[in-house]
Amino acid sequence: MSTTNAVELRNVVKRFGDIAAVDHVSLEIRDGEFFSLLGPSGCGKTTTLRMIAGFEYPSSGSIVIHGREMATIPPHRRPVNTVFQSYALFPHLTVAQNVAFGLEMQRRPKDEIAARVREALEQVRLSGFADRRPRQLSGGQQQRVALARALINQPEVLLLDEPLGALDQKLRKELQIELKSLQRRVGITFVFVTHDQEEALTMSDRIAVMSQGKVLQIGSPTEIYERPTCRFVADFIGETNFIAGKVIENGANAATIETPDGLRLRGLTPRPVRVGEPAVLSIRPEKALLLAPGDARAGHAFAIPARVELVSYIGSDTRITVRLNDQRTFDVWEQNTLSTLDRDAYWQPGEPAVLVCPPDNALVLTE
Amino acid sequence: MTLNALERERQRRERRTLAALLTPGLLWLILFFALPLVIILVYSFMTNGPRGNIVWQFTLGNYVDLFTRSIYFNAYLRSIWISVLTTVICLVLGYPLALFIVRQPPRWRTVLLFLVLIPFWTNFLVRIYAWQIILANNGLINSALRSLGLPPLTLLNTEGATLLGLVYGELPFMVLPIYAALDRFDFTLMEAAADLGASKRRAFWRVMLPMTMPGVAAGSVLVFIPTIGQFVVSELLGGAKVDYLGNLIQRLFLRSNPPNWPLGSAMAMAMMLVLLALILIYFRTTTEEDR
């Protein structure tokens, strides 16, 4: 079982008129994993999910669920269930009737349905709400009803379309943890669509980053954050600094770029680059180091002269914006590990500094 | 003290404005609706004189006649029956039509709704006369049949023609409220139903129909009420061969010699009773939806 794929997409294309909403997407979603489709709105992630659910059919390519081709299977015969962004609870039915809907469609015996509904409502801590109507519940409670209504059918794959999108920040965080632990407990494959990169990083086993209908990178949260393979992914996930230049030398898994003002900077290459190609050096703000001019540690790595422009203390970190020689800005985050109120000894705007970054914390990326 | 007085003064002024606004409409309704209704109610318990005059003597005879004499009771049942039939046919034709229109792109929706409403631009009687021209023995349909060498059909002056005319006339009143209900319906719910294993048919019965029931109920009431009292269509297209409530009432008031206003009034009251029951059911279904 552990080697089978729950869902496979092979070269799936979906066109609406002349526009390819999904453009040759291939994915393998493993059995039991929490898989996220992450990207900005309009990137094709929801269309991809809707094709797995059966609400849309691919223009070409194939979708396979546990080895079965889905091309001719309508949504009501697929072994998947969906939690909709708007929850799509039936307003004319009670909470219990909503949750029972799927089992009723399978024509299960009445007492089995009653027992399983009770169990499902317990699982999402809504036991006392069985006879309420959906509109009498809060957003978070409605979301949990939608979850119970889907999970009660024991689907092979659960599809979730931005299910936390309509909730406030605090509730979102709570439900992220709840959803993740629920997924571990029931062991069902989750395919989760979101535009919130933090949400995807928190919950997923693996993430597919999408943009303009294409999958740009698939990997674990760490891989996606630490080793983005292109500029878009580095930019979309978390914060980063880009220094633009041209590749002048490349090795096995590292390369050097030269900036227009003649700086030569070296970084790792998650994806091979060619000499002469335009590229950027991507450095996360927490991975760069700001040193006083003349600091001995500057000798080991590349060092760029800079001037401190802005210092913002935000509690856990201090965020320092420096200006480089060619007027570009660059952000450096320093963690406030030492409890010090003596801010006078800290960086002051206007001070000269040296920006340092070890080469294995810098990446050379192309478009 | 003064505050209380001010408050009382304010309330008095508010009451006066309200009275001024309501009086004209209220007077109109009392004079032209409630009063005639009371007159009809009183008449229905009076005795008919030999020359068609009202004899002021209380009797339940009119109601007894209505329920015991088959000519009246059959008309009563026949009217209910054809109204039910008209309503059901309008529903069966109108629901799919409304659904089709709702699913079109917005621009087409406007055009199609406009087409549904176009018949109202012409007087109803004129349109019914037009149907005579279509259905007559040497009318449009039979001329076409004859030119194809087929035998002619008797279409006009049949009960089928009455039903056709009624459905034709009432269909828009069914389509519009159902359209309004479907317009508010969230079609994601149909996806949710399919996702939970419901075929299109089951999703319709379990989700779409219950949720658009207020539209169905409103349309049914709008179709049923005018149909039960109608007499024009059954006379012009049905050839007045069979009596419906409306035809009898019209005849008892205006045509029979001598006229019988008390019996006509009793029939009108009996008709209102059916409608009252129907409207009570209607309010039941809609308020349940709103709970």
Q: Are β-strands A80-83 and A157-161 bridged in parallel, bridged antiparallel, or unpaired?
A: parallel
The residue from A173, A203, A231 where one domain ends is: A231
Q: What is the mean pLDDT of chain A?
A: 91
Q: Is A102 on the interface with B (CB under 8 A)?
A: yes
The tens digit of pLDDT for each residue in A65-92 reads: 999 999 889 999 999 999 999 999 999 9
The residue from A231, A260, A276 where one domain ends is: A231
Do A180 and A77 belong to one domain?
yes
Per the listing, tokens 């800290």 go with A346
Do A119 and A221 belong to one domain?
yes
- Nearest residue in A to B212, CA atom: A92
Q: What is the pLDDT of residue A1?
A: 42
Q: How far apart are CA B155 and CA B144, in angstroms?
A: 13
Closest partner CB to B197 (pick from A55, A76, A84): A76
Is there a contact between A92 and B211 if contact means CB atoms under 8 Å apart?
Answer: yes
Is there a contact between B198 and A101 if contact means CB atoms under 8 Å apart?
Answer: yes
- Domain extent at residue A273: 239-365
Q: Is A88 on the interface with B (CB under 8 A)?
A: yes
Q: Which residues partner with A281 through β-bridges?
A: A243, A364
State how far residue B290 is from chain A, nearest Cα, in angstroms: 9
Which CATH number does the domain housing residue A23 bear?
Answer: 3.40.50.300
Q: Is A155 on the interface with B (CB under 8 A)?
A: no
For B72-290, the fitting CATH number among 1.10.600.10, 1.40.20.10, 1.10.3720.10, 3.30.1360.10 is 1.10.3720.10
Please report the ipTM that was assigned to this predicted complex.
Answer: 0.85
Do A256 and A126 belong to one domain?
no
Do A214 and A245 belong to one domain?
no
- List the single best residue of A50, A51, A105, A158 to mutate versus B (max B Cβ within 10 A): A105
Domain boundaries, chain B: 72-290
Q: What is the pLDDT of residue A262?
A: 85
Do A33 and A152 belong to one domain?
yes
Q: What is the pLDDT of residue A340?
A: 62
pLDDT beneath 70: ranges in chain A: 1-3, 298-301, 339-345
Q: What is the pLDDT of residue A343?
A: 61
Do A41 and A154 belong to one domain?
yes
SS3 content of chain A, % helix, strand, coil (to 5): 30, 35, 35
Contact B178, B98 (CB under 8 A): yes
Query: Which residues in B lie closer than 8 A to residue A84 (C-beta atoms)?
Result: 188, 191-192
User: What is the per-residue DSSP string for A175-213?
Assistant: HHHHHHHHHHHH--EEEEEES-HHHHHHH-SEEEEEETT
Question: Residue B229 corresponds to which tokens in the numbers above?
Answer: 């009292």
Is there a contact between A76 and B186 if contact means CB atoms under 8 Å apart?
Answer: no
Q: What is the pLDDT of residue A33?
A: 95
Do A45 and A122 belong to one domain?
yes
Do A141 and A282 belong to one domain?
no
State how far residue A158 is from chain B, nearest Cα, in angstroms: 11
Question: Residue A61 corresponds to which tokens in the numbers above?
Answer: 């390519």
Do A274 and A251 belong to one domain?
yes
Burial class (CB in 10 A: 0-12, 13-18, 19+), B217: buried
Closest partner CB to A153 (pick from B186, B196, B207): B196
**Count of the separate structural domains present in chain A:** 2
Which CATH number does the domain housing residue A303 bear?
Answer: 2.40.50.140
Do A127 and A268 belong to one domain?
no
**In chain B, which among 201-220 make CB contacts under 8 A with chain A?**
202-203, 206-207, 210-211
Which pairs count as long-range contacts for B240-243, CB under 8 Å and 24+ apart, including other chains? B241/B157, B241/B158, B241/B159, B242/B78, B242/B159, B243/B71, B243/B74, B243/B75, B243/B78
Q: What is the pLDDT of residue A345?
A: 66
Per the listing, tokens 């914006």 go with A321
Is there a contact between A82 and B193 if contact means CB atoms under 8 Å apart?
Answer: no
Q: How far apart are CA A206 and CA A29, in angstroms?
A: 9
Do A96 and A207 belong to one domain?
yes
Q: Is A17 on the interface with B (CB under 8 A)?
A: no
Q: What is the pLDDT of residue A344?
A: 61
Which amino acid, residue A24? Answer: H
Q: How far apart are CA B205 and CA B219, in angstroms?
A: 18
Q: What is the pLDDT of residue B4?
A: 86
The residue from A195, A215, A231 where one domain ends is: A231
User: What is the per-residue DSSP string for chain B?
Assistant: -HHHHHHHHHHHHHHHHHHHHHHHHHHHHIIIIIHHHHHHHHHTTSEEPTTSPEE----SHHHHHHHHSHHHHHHHHHHHHHHHHHHHHHHHHHHHHHHHHHTS-HHHHHHHHHHHHGGGGS-HHHHHHHHHHHHSTTSHHHHHHHHTTPPP---TTSHHHHHHHHHHHHHHHHHHHHHHHHHHS-THHHHHHHHTT--HHHHIIIIIHHHTHHHHHHHHHHHHHHHHH--HHHHHTSTT-S--HHHHHHIIIIISSS--HHHHHHHHHHHHHHHHHHHHHHHHHHHHHH-
Do A95 and A127 belong to one domain?
yes
The dihedral region occupied by A181, where left means phi > 0, alpha psi between -120 and 50, and beta the remainder, is: alpha
Q: What is the pLDDT of residue B287?
A: 67
- Nearest residue in B to A52, CA atom: B195
Q: What is the pLDDT of residue A292?
A: 86
Per the listing, tokens 């939608």 go with A146
State the number of CA atoms in the 13 A half-sphere of B4 facing the CB.
1
Query: Which residues in A lie closer than 8 A to residue B192 (C-beta atoms)?
Result: 82, 84, 88-90
Ordered per-residue pLDDT tens for chain B, 291 residues: 577 888 999 999 999 999 999 999 999 999 999 999 999 999 999 999 888 888 999 999 999 998 899 989 999 899 999 999 999 999 999 999 999 999 999 999 999 999 999 998 999 999 999 999 999 988 999 999 999 999 888 999 999 999 999 999 999 999 999 999 999 999 999 999 999 999 999 999 999 999 999 999 999 999 999 999 899 999 999 988 888 999 999 999 988 889 999 999 999 999 998 889 888 888 887 765 544
Is there a contact between B196 and A88 if contact means CB atoms under 8 Å apart?
Answer: no
